Homo-oligomer: A and B are copies of this chain.
Amino acid sequence: MEKLRQITGLDAGAVADVAHMFDVLAEPTRLQILQALANGPLCVGDLVATLDAKQANISKQLGVLHAAKLVDRERDGLQVRYFISEPMIFELCSLVCGKLRRDAEARVAAMPAPSRARKR
């Protein structure tokens, strides 16, 4: 892997950091939270209602997103308002969505003509 570092210029630590960031984005619940926050700040209770998930889980996943510095928060009385602090995540999701769309289209194009007409 020393050989790899010479090639890529990235040491094992940097690779691990990148992997961890992708890991944070690799959970559907966390992605849904980010999507919900895309339209503006929301407090924990709003997210619990919007995603109909348990409060404890939402809070825990918000903690992960916050530790990764993808969201930030501010207290407002009893509530805590969360908001996106890293707009880059939308570019990331957009790139991935584009790839998934291309893959789906390629699958359709690869289908034999008769079934291509029937499916979906």
Contact A96 B100 (CB under 8 A): no
Contact B38 A8 (CB under 8 A): yes
In the complex, the count of this chain's copies comes to 2
Contact A26 B23 (CB under 8 A): yes
User: Which label, helix, strand, loop or mixed, suits the secondary structure of the A interface?
Assistant: helix
Interface size for A (C-beta < 8 A) is 44
**A95-B91 in contact given A4-B35, A10-B35 (Cβ < 8 Å):** yes
Contact B17 A36 (CB under 8 A): no
Using a CB–CB distance below 8 Å, which chain A residues touch chain B?
Answer: 1, 3-4, 7-8, 10, 12, 14-23, 25-28, 31-32, 35-36, 38-39, 49-52, 69, 86, 88, 91-93, 95-100, 103
